[in-house]
């Protein structure tokens, strides 16, 4: 009877893995949206040292709308693929790796936000303007 109950309500090991992948895909999406919000905030205010060359190219060619579309498209594709493949054995380790990368990006944002008030860091960012990696968006 217990086996039938577990199977009916998805409490099997496979069902648990599927739920973990779905939860990780949601967490990845939320961290990605936070990354987008922080990126836009800093690019529109103080400017920022953008490490992602593709994001720099998106801003240079299409401005804010193109950056938003690019980030939302890549985020929805990655989380969507994880969700669609959640029943496959490879999905859970892949989801954990993606969540780890997004978690490390979140830690990077915390360190960046804390260090931006440091005058030495700000001076270094101003020097970085010359190498094309510093991005500041004027206007909306």
Confidence band, pLDDT 50/70/90 cuts, at residue 122: low
Q: Does any domain span residue 125?
A: yes
Least confident among 14-18, 24-28, 75-79, 131-135: 131-135
Burial 46-58 (b: 16+ CB within 10 A, else e): ebbebeeeebbeb
Q: Does any domain span residue 124?
A: yes
| Helix/strand/coil for 49 | strand
Q: Does any domain span residue 100?
A: yes
Q: Does any domain span residue 140?
A: no
Question: What is residue 31's predicted lDDT score, i.e. its pLDDT?
Answer: 97
Question: What is residue 25's predicted lDDT score, i.e. its pLDDT?
Answer: 96
Q: Does any domain span residue 6?
A: no
At residue 92, does pLDDT exceed 70? yes
Total number of domains constituting the chain: 1
**CA-angle at 54, arms to 90 and 127, nearest 5°:** 130
Domain ranges, residue 84:
12-135
Question: What is residue 2's predicted lDDT score, i.e. its pLDDT?
Answer: 44
pTM of the model: 0.78
Q: Does any domain span residue 2?
A: no
Mean of the per-residue pLDDT values of the chain: 83
Q: Does any domain span residue 57?
A: yes
Question: What is residue 6's predicted lDDT score, i.e. its pLDDT?
Answer: 46
Confidence band, pLDDT 50/70/90 cuts, at residue 128: low
At residue 39, does pLDDT exceed 70? yes
Q: Does any domain span residue 1?
A: no
| Helix/strand/coil for 89 | coil
Least confident among 12-16, 24-28, 55-59: 12-16
């Amino acid at each position: 009877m217990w086996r039938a109950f577990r199977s009916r309500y998805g409490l099997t090991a496979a069902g648990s893995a599927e739920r973990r992948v779905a939860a990780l895909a949601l967490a990845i999406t939320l961290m990605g949206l936070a990354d987008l919000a922080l990126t836009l905030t800093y690019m529109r205010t103080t400017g920022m040292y953008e490490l992602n060359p593709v994001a720099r190219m998106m801003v240079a060619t299409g401005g804010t709308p193109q950056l938003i579309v690019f980030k939302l498209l890549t985020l929805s594709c990655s989380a969507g693929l994880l969700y669609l493949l959640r029943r496959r054995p490879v999905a859970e380790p892949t989801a954990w790796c993606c969540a780890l990368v997004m978690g490390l990006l979140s830690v990077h944002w915390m360190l960046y936000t804390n260090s931006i008030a440091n005058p030495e860091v700000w001076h270094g960012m101003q020097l970085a303007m010359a190498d094309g990696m510093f991005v500041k968006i004027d206007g909306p």
